[in-house]
Amino acid sequence: MDQSSVPDQQALFGWSDAAPPTPAPSAFADSPQARRLLDVREVYAEPAALDSPRGRQIMARLPGVRVTEVPSHWRIPALHGNDGNVARWVRVKTDTLVLGVKRTLETRPNGRSADWIAPGPSNGCAMACAYCYVPRRKGYANPITLFTNIEAIVAHVRRHVRAQGPKPEPNQCDPHAWVYDIGENGDCSVDALVCDNTADLIAAFRTLRTAKASFATKFVNPDLLALDPRGRTRIRFSLMPPDDARLLDIRTSPIADRIAAAPDFLDAGYEVHFNLSPVVLRPGWQRDWADLLTHLDDVLPARVKQQAAAEIIMLTHNEQLHEVNLGWHPRAEDLLWQPAAQETKRSQNGALNVRYSQDIKRTALTRLHQLLATHAPWLHVRYAF
Ligand code: SF4
C-alpha cells in the first residue's frame, strides 16, 4: 500500500501510531496512552453487578462517575444499536463502561484456536477495529461490558477443566494442555486496565495443570507482566502489516510495539503466540506480509521463536458492519469490502457475512505459507482458517 494513502489516526480518531514508548508498569495507569483509550465518564450497570465485590471494586476506581442502573446489560437503548451512535463511535468506547452479570455460564467446544471457549469475563471493547465481529449482537457502538460475577466464571472453568481430566493426545491447539479461550468477545489486555477479571483468570489457570488459558490481543498492557502466569496462559498478539493496521486496527497498540513486547511477556511467564489476522487481500499484500515476517525474524530473540506458533485467519466481513463503517470510516471499506473477490453466506441470525471465495482464499493461504517458509520458517502454523 502506498504510504501516502494511509490516513493519519491522530487526525481521524484522536489516536496516534507515533504514541510515546510504552511506559513501565508502575507508570502505566497514569500514561497518556491508557487515558486516551479509556476515560470513563458514564457507567451503565445492573443493580446486582453494582452490588457485587467486583462491581464495588471497579466503582471505587471511578469516583464521581455518573451511574445509570439498567435492567439488563443486553438492553441499553441509549447505547446499543447503531442509530445516532455512528458519529460518536469512538467517544462511546472511551467514556462508557457497562457492568453486568453473566447469567449463562457455558463452555463450548472449539477445536481450532482453542479446545474450548470459556465464558468470557467481558463483552465489547474500547478499541474499534473496523472488521470486528464482537459488536454484532449488541449493535456496533459496543463499549466494554465487564461481568462482575467473576468468581462464578472462575468456578465454572475450574469444574470444566477438572471434568476433562488430562488431555489424551496432542492436537493443533496444544500438545499437552486443554486450551481455553478466555477472550472471545473482548480484549483481556484492555479489560485489565479497569478491573481484575483478567488477573483472576490468569491466577486460576496458574494452578490448573492440565489446562491453559489463551487470549488474542491488540493492546500491549505492561500491567499483565506482573500477573505471574507460570506458563499456563498463552497470549496471542495479533499482527498484520502496519499500514493495514493504521487503517483498520483503530485505537490499538502499534504493530511494532506488539512484536517488541513478545520477549517481555515470555520472560514474565506467558506462552507467546501470534495471530496473523485478519489477512486482508489488496494490491501489495504479499510484499507487506513478507516485510512483516522479515521484521519478526529480525527482532525476535531465539527464545521467543522456539516456542512461538501462529494462527492465520483470513478476513471475514459482514454486510451490516459494512453499512455502519461507511458512516464513520469509509476508507476502511475500500479494503474490507471487495465483492468481486468475496462470497456471501447467511448466518443463523440472518446477517449476511462475506468471506473470500474459496479459490482466492486457497491461493492466498498457499502464498502465505510460502512467505512463512521463506521469511520466518521457525513460525509453526497451528491452523489457518
Ligand atoms: S481488539 Fe478485538 S475485540 Fe477489540 S475491536 Fe479489535 S477485533 Fe474487536
Q: Tell me the average pLDDT of the chain.
A: 89
Ligand 1 within 6 A of 144 CB? no
pLDDT tops 50 at residue 266: yes
**39 contacts 64 by C-beta, under 8 angstroms:** no
At residue 185, the 3 state secondary structure works out as coil
Confidence of residue 325 (pLDDT cuts 50, 70, 90): confident
Ligand 1 within 6 A of 313 CB? no
Pocket test for ligand 1, best of 89, 129, 251 (most atoms within 8 A of CB): 129
Q: What average pLDDT score do residues 86-102 get?
A: 87
pLDDT of residue 230: 98
| Residues 6 or more apart in contact with residue 40 via CB below 8 angstroms | 62, 65, 95, 96, 97, 194
Ligand 1 within 6 A of 141 CB? no
Query: Counting atoms of ligand 1 from 1, which one is nearest the CA of 135?
Result: 8
Ligand 1 center from residue 132 Cα (angstroms): 5
**Residue 54: all three cell numbers together:** 467486583
Q: Which of 32-41, 51-60, 260-269 has the lowest mean pLDDT?
A: 32-41
Ligand 1 within 6 A of 127 CB? yes
The residue contributing the CA closest to ligand 1 atom 7 is 132
Ligand 1 within 6 A of 134 CB? yes
194-238 confidence digits (pLDDT tens) = 999 999 999 999 999 999 999 999 999 999 999 999 999 999 999
pLDDT tops 60 at residue 380: yes
**54 contacts 200 by C-beta, under 8 angstroms:** no
Ligand 1 center from residue 187 Cα (angstroms): 6
pLDDT tops 50 at residue 26: no
More confident residue, 329 or 380: 380
Ligand 1 center from residue 131 Cα (angstroms): 8
Pocket test for ligand 1, best of 15, 38, 93, 125 (most atoms within 8 A of CB): 125
Concatenating the DSSP letter of every residue in 106-141 gives --EE--SS-SEEPPPSEE--SS--TT--GGGGT-S-
pLDDT tops 50 at residue 160: yes
Confidence of residue 349 (pLDDT cuts 50, 70, 90): low
pTM: 0.91
Output the CA torsion sign for 240, 241, 244, 246. positive
CB count in 10 Å sphere of residue 269: 16
Q: Which of 126-130, 140-144, 337-341, 358-362 has the lowest mean pLDDT?
A: 140-144
Confidence of residue 3 (pLDDT cuts 50, 70, 90): very low
Domain limits at 83? 3-384
Question: What is the number of structural domains in the chain?
Answer: 1
Confidence of residue 20 (pLDDT cuts 50, 70, 90): very low
Element (H, E) at 67: strand 66-69
Q: Letter for the amino acid at 261?
A: A
279-316 confidence digits (pLDDT tens) = 999 999 999 999 999 999 999 999 999 999 999 999 99
The residue contributing the CA closest to ligand 1 atom 8 is 132
Q: What average pLDDT score do residues 94-112 get?
A: 95
pLDDT of residue 324: 83
Query: Counting atoms of ligand 1 from 1, which one is nearest the CA of 124?
Result: 3
User: Which CATH number do you get for residue 60?
Assistant: 3.80.30.30
Helices 285-299 & 358-375 angle (0-180, nearest 10): 30
pLDDT of residue 34: 65
Confidence of residue 107 (pLDDT cuts 50, 70, 90): very high
Pocket test for ligand 1, best of 218, 251, 329 (most atoms within 8 A of CB): 218
More confident residue, 29 or 367: 367
- Supply φ then ψ for residue 8, to 5 degrees: -85, 125
Confidence of residue 22 (pLDDT cuts 50, 70, 90): very low
Confidence of residue 7 (pLDDT cuts 50, 70, 90): very low
Q: What percent of the chain is predicted at pLDDT more than 90?
A: 76
